[in-house]
């Protein structure tokens, strides 16, 4: 592929370090028994390493200019290229395509990071998620309570498991060179143990809606007044001054179960 026009709308920054690509696959724990879903094949550099280690790779790519190149590159291999926007493929369609458990591996552009992570963590067939993201996003994913990075994305990720920052990636390892460094994060998925995850996400977003405000202010609705919220907090071992950023993941589960039927 002699010439390729990089597209800002797709957030295209391709990796060029063979050792780093191998490290990503190693950190993802991909073995010959695994089926992998890759999002954003790009020019197929990571795809090729995945194909050498996995049983099967289902790789999604949205850029039509790469169709012919990737189709030829992975013809007659264990890679199935899917030229679609993965966010427009339903979980039922994906699960039928893949046929069982899978590991997700992806180099995600900033604009789709949260939607893709949130969506795939809910897929019952996904065993683990290993993604390269901007380092500031990685810091949010692995953050601890009472820190500036702790927020909605943190809780969404950590309700499903304990994320680990596996590799820090210097921006110079990409082409074209982006403005920020990146990091690889892995989440081994566990059961979230909340009844309705979409409602849980809404609850978490409301709890963080005004970061510097008390939880009782953020959770107040026409059905649930501030005084009642403060009373319930005190009765369940919390302070009426509690803010969302102070809550652990277990606290969020406890409070969601406490308030979800009242809001």
For residue 66, is it within any domain? yes
pLDDT at 239: 95
pLDDT tens for 9-30 read 444 457 768 899 999 999 999 9
What backbone torsions phi and psi does residue 193 show, to the nearest 5 degrees? 60, 35
Arithmetic mean of pLDDT over the chain: 91
Number of domains forming the structure of the chain: 2
Whether 209 and 233 map to the same domain: the answer is yes
**What is the rounded CA–CA span in Å between residue 236 and residue 258?**
9
Whether 69 and 98 map to the same domain: the answer is yes
Picking from 161, 188, 215, the residue at the C-terminal end of a domain is 188
Is the pLDDT confidence value at 49 over 60?
yes
Is the pLDDT confidence value at 88 over 50?
yes
The stretch 27-46 carries a mean pLDDT of 95
pLDDT at 11: 43
**What is the rounded CA–CA span in Å between residue 53 and residue 231?**
55
**What is the rounded CA–CA span in Å between residue 51 and residue 67?**
18
| Domain of residue 230, CATH code | 1.10.8.100
Residue with tokens 């009844």: 195
Whether 174 and 94 map to the same domain: the answer is yes
For residues 98, 35, 114, 23, the Cα torsion angle rounded to the nearest 10 degrees is: -160
SS3 for 195-247 is CCHHHHHHHHHHHCCCCCCCHHHHCCCCCCCHHHHHHHHHHCCCCCCCCHHHC
The whole-model pTM stands at 0.90
For residue 3, is it within any domain? no
Whether 76 and 136 map to the same domain: the answer is yes
Whether 139 and 26 map to the same domain: the answer is yes
pLDDT tens for 136-146 read 999 999 999 99
The stretch 210-235 carries a mean pLDDT of 93
Angle between helices 249-259 and 226-235 in degrees, nearest 10? 120
Percent of the chain at pLDDT exceeding 90: 78
The stretch 113-135 carries a mean pLDDT of 95
In this structure, of 3-12, 38-47, 65-74, 191-200, the range with the lowest mean pLDDT score is: 3-12
pLDDT at 157: 96
The stretch 226-239 carries a mean pLDDT of 95
Whether 118 and 30 map to the same domain: the answer is yes
Question: Which residues, in sequence order, are CB contacts of 209 under 8 Å at separation 6+?
Answer: 218
Is the pLDDT confidence value at 6 over 70?
no
């Amino acid at each position: 592929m002699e010439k390729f026009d990089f597209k800002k709308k797709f957030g295209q920054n391709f990796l060029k370090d063979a050792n780093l690509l191998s490290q990503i696959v190693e950190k993802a724990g991909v073995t010959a028994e695994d089926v992998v879903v890759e999002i954003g094949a790009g020019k197929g550099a990571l795809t090729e390493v995945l194909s050498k280690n996995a049983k099967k790779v289902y790789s999604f790519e949205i850029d039509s200019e790469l169709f012919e190149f990737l189709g030829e590159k992975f013809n007659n291999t264990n890679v199935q290229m899917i030229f679609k926007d993965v966010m427009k493929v339903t979980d039922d369609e994906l699960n039928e395509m893949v046929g069982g458990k899978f590991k997700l591996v992806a180099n995600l552009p900033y604009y789709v990071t949260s939607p893709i992570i949130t969506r795939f963590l809910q897929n019952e067939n996904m065993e683990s998620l290993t993604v390269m993201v901007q380092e500031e996003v990685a810091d949010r994913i692995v953050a601890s309570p009472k820190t500036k990075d702790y927020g909605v994305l943190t809780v969404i990720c950590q309700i499903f498991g304990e994320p680990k920052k596996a590799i820090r990636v210097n921006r110079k390892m990409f082409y074209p060179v982006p403005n920020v460094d990146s990091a690889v994060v892995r989440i081994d998925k566990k059961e979230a143990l909340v009844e309705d995850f979409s409602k849980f996400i809404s609850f978490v977003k409301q709890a963080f809606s005004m970061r510097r405000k008390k939880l009782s202010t953020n959770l107040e609705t026409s059905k649930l007044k501030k005084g009642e919220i403060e009373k319930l907090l005190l009765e369940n071992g919390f302070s009426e001054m509690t803010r969302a950023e102070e809550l652990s993941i277990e606290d969020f589960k406890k409070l969601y179960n406490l308030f979800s039927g009242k809001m």
